[in-house]
Amino acid sequence: QLLNCQINKSEKLPNIIIIFTDDQGYADLSCYGAKGFKTPNIDRMADEGMLFTDFYSAYSVCSPSRASLLTGCYAQRVGLPEVLAPPGPEWTKGRTNIGLNENETTIAEMLKPIGYSTACFGKWHLGHLPSFLPTRHGFDEYLGLPYSNDMIPDDYPPLPLLDGESVIEHNPDQSKLTTLYTEQALQFIQKNKDNPFFLYVPHSMPHVPLAVSDRFKGKSDQGMYGDVIMEIDWSVGEILKKLKDLNLDKNSLVIFASDNGPWLEYGNHAGSAVPLREGKFTTFEGGQRVPCIMRWPGKIPAGTTCPELVSTIDFLPTIAVITGAKLPALEIDGKNIQPLIEGFPDAKSPHDVFYFYSGNELQGIRNGKWKLFFPHTYQTPLEIGNDGKQGKMGSKELPLTLYDLEKDIEETTNVAEQHPGIVENLSKIAKAFDAQLKKNIRPPGRVEL
């Protein structure tokens, strides 16, 4: 099977496109059951490719989830387990001068030596100082925001829109961002139609504050959140159309996924993870199980569903296999899922277990249908906001808890007392991994200010 995984050297190297949304919940596509809006272009990706039901972002917040996607590692391993920020409120202290270490290898840096052109258009959030920007981590081109679109005055410096490493505008009109990123992506595809490329489009939306162009304003029955998702769906459609027009679609792997679950505190300006529990900031299913669709005509079987556990950390090693690129020299956590996405008979998840971290705290472990939580405090909405107004978050305690996700996807019934052997076994595995990982944490990049 390993031999079958290797790319035929006589074939043209495949193009890789990753579209990564921000705070989009598990139920926020019509092919996942969305209410009040339609996503026909992303649904078409599912009709022509593979929809994943048990796909996890490696973290439930922005910076760690992006570090994991681009490096194939749990974010602890690369020293970025927390959200980064420019100078601002008290919580940003210690997070303003760090970013992705130059010694880490991103997908872009992995692909450059074998001839790929690379670009990132959108939200970066792996360090805003020049030495941490995409152009220092393997991307030929970058245009976008260096961090979240809510990090704006009065609490933060003016929000910069960057072209490469230069600020081209402060506090840009956010209703134009999705269109801007899309136009940049289309130009990049056109320019690189004759050579392999890696295109990473991490949208700023639907992170609050929501903003949408006039052409989609008021178009959904759900309200502004639905309008924003409809515009992202349009963006996906434009990228797919450009690939087809240039006769590139059969040689292009397109991945659509979200960085974490919905920011439920924002009510009608947040998405939905129904039927999953909780959302962003938590290691419950609603925080990390997110929509993911992959399309590659002729390689990925059309109209298929994958129920196997897969994660963003698997993108890098899988892309290495399908392109023939050399894996990073430093240890990674992701696994090759090429047998799964290409529909090999009896292909299974390469993960015996998957770990759930919040900051530096190991909070849980999943093995097959079992998900074990260790006692921890988690954030949950106490009051729900409306129309862009923030609600109020509070803390709750979770004891040692075991869930059977096959019977209880909502994570409501603790069955730890009925299965002490499973609790003991998973506890040992998790604690051994956590100890080993923390012995081998690599430092983030750091700039002395």
| Catalytic positions | 62, 125
Q: Is 268 helix (H, G, I), strand (E, B) or coil?
A: helix
List the structure tokens of 51.
Answer: 């929809």
Residues 354, 338: Cα–Cα separation, whole Å:
18
Range 342-351, long-range pairs (CB < 8 A, 24+ positions): 342/299, 342/300, 342/301, 343/50, 343/300, 343/301, 343/304, 344/1, 344/4, 347/308, 348/308, 349/54, 349/308, 349/309, 349/310, 350/314, 351/309, 351/310, 351/311
Contacts of 302 (CB under 8 A, 6+ apart): 47, 48, 49
- Helix ranges (DSSP H) in 118-264: 177-191, 224-245
CB of 174 closer than 8 Å to CB of 204: yes
Please give the sequence-ordered ranges of beta strands (E in DSSP) within 292-387, or none if there are none. 292-295, 304-306, 310-311, 354-358, 361-367, 370-373, 376-383
98, β-bridge pairs: 446
Among the listed residues 328, 321, 327, 368, the one whose alpha carbon sits nearest the alpha carbon of residue 342: 321
Residues 81, 75: Cα–Cα separation, whole Å:
5
Please give the sequence-ordered ranges of beta strands (E in DSSP) within 104-157, or none if there are none. 117-121, 141-144
Classify residue 373 as exposed, middle or buried by CB count within 10 Å of its CB (0-12, 13-18, 19+): buried
Instruction: State the pairing for strand pair 160-163/141-144.
Output: antiparallel
Residues 227, 436: Cα–Cα separation, whole Å:
45
